[in-house]
A and B are shown apart, each in its own frame.
Chain A
């Protein structure tokens, strides 16, 4: 079981320009990039979007093979959309066999959809690959703080996210340990029909839930012992600063978005 090999949503340590950017800039850029991908609807537009993404990947120095590995788990979803779109859209028929027809419009939509999904996944995984979970949640908290006025508990939400992110690897490790311990007692997770496989999960799930509750309880105690929840304004050791490079990145990014919009309007 290769639980530790999942790369989607992981942080790739580095000290590139992209790594050092203010997380607020990166989060906003990612959100706008996703929106931009839905603005684009021809090949030139996608080429611009892909070129932008490629230059960010090159600057970030994250190996392409590492990024592509993160695509593996979603490969099935992408091929599914591709196939559905290819056969379901009516229009000028290119190829037909039995009850299936591939149309020009269908093919076009299918390919665009696949490209869109791939760019979307790579774009958003680049955010987590180049941003430490802690600065990611700090960024989210900062971006959400204007909504505090209407009663949104921005700090608590950010803390919950930090904790959730922090404990994903811990729980994965715990799962791995429990699975191995039960395998050592002869448990078999890989063969048998659906029913017996589902049953085989009980020896993992029960200890895992118990561990999760134990960890949560210990963490709550440790946080309380350090006065978490006292009504005090908290400050940070490493405050976020909007540096020169963030201004430069923002300007470049606005230009990039402008190019995409212009291309759409003009073509």
Chain B
């Protein structure tokens, strides 16, 4: 399954004095099994774009074809779309509402109309996949958990719907370094197990560089770059002009290059950069 977005445009409060173009003429394609990183400054239209993929917002013009279905067409059944595409919002822990973790995770699958046995199996699987101990946690109130655990439970609530496309909007925002790493590990595990398309929205370039197969860069509602992390992050000057960063490893390498050290290619992680520098210093 793949996703194809073509000419997508959305305008907020159209016709009112404060109308604003949220996204304009966005076109890209994501292939099955890809992890797509999305970066952009605050207000660049990332979240608006993600909400379109899930059918929560209707575009003014343009199409989104997921697999065989055009989800922007009239008469599509929203429930079928939401079954295919899971969207985890920023700070998803604020959507928790049930008395127990198990009940909260069951909310999504139950809305899909699955059988009770299927729901039970999925909750257990999803909770384990986000790295929590199902039997220890299933009857605990979600409000008694730590911040990082709450977020995992909220993400489990979406994974339990077994989406073919999973969208994570800044899943690590506001977490401490340990919880941050744990969440990224969790994303890798989910990607490995489910082999779905994952969209990862983040402000952290180091995370995007090491996780993604493909990177999309949004600026003022437009898609300005679309390529491999190596391609995108080698255009450091342009990214900085948009108020974005490059990964620390790329920054170090480009400074060393400027000093005359002959490093070939891009280094997306610190380990890679360290290896290449060691190679030269040998």
The answer to whether A and B assemble together is yes
Residue of A5, A186, A211 most packed against chain B (CB within 10 A): A186
Residues B184-199 near A (CB distance < 8 A): none
* Interface assignment of B89: CB less than 8 Å from any CB of chain A: yes
* Interface assignment of A20: CB less than 8 Å from any CB of chain B: no
State whether B94 touches A186 (Cβ < 8 A). no
State whether B51 touches A180 (Cβ < 8 A). yes
- Contact code string A191-204 (vs B, CB < 8 Å = 1, else 0): 00000000000110
A209: nearest residue on chain B (CB-CB)? B97
CA distance A207 to B95 in the complex (A): 6
State whether B111 touches A178 (Cβ < 8 A). no
* Interface assignment of B54: CB less than 8 Å from any CB of chain A: yes
State whether A178 touches B95 (Cβ < 8 A). yes
State whether B108 touches A207 (Cβ < 8 A). no
Pick out which of these stretches binds chain A: B22-30, B80-88, B240-248, B261-269: B80-88
CA distance A203 to B96 in the complex (A): 8
Contact-residue size bin, chain B (C-beta under 8 Å from the other chain): 20 to 34
Q: Which residues of A contact B96 (CB under 8 A)?
A: 207
Q: Which residues of A contact B229 (CB under 8 A)?
A: none
A7: nearest residue on chain B (CB-CB)? B16
* Interface assignment of B17: CB less than 8 Å from any CB of chain A: yes
What's the tally of chain A residues with a CB closer than 8 Å to chain B?
22
Q: Which residues of A contact B56 (CB under 8 A)?
A: 180, 183-184
A187: nearest residue on chain B (CB-CB)? B111
Interface residues of B (CB under 8 A from A): 12-13, 16-17, 51, 54, 56, 79, 82-83, 86-89, 92, 94-97, 107-108, 111-112, 143, 157-158, 161
Interface residues of A (CB under 8 A from B): 4-5, 12-13, 66, 177-178, 180-188, 202-203, 206-207, 210-211
Closest 7 CB pairs of A and B: A186-B111, A206-B97, A185-B108, A181-B95, A184-B87, A181-B89, A203-B97
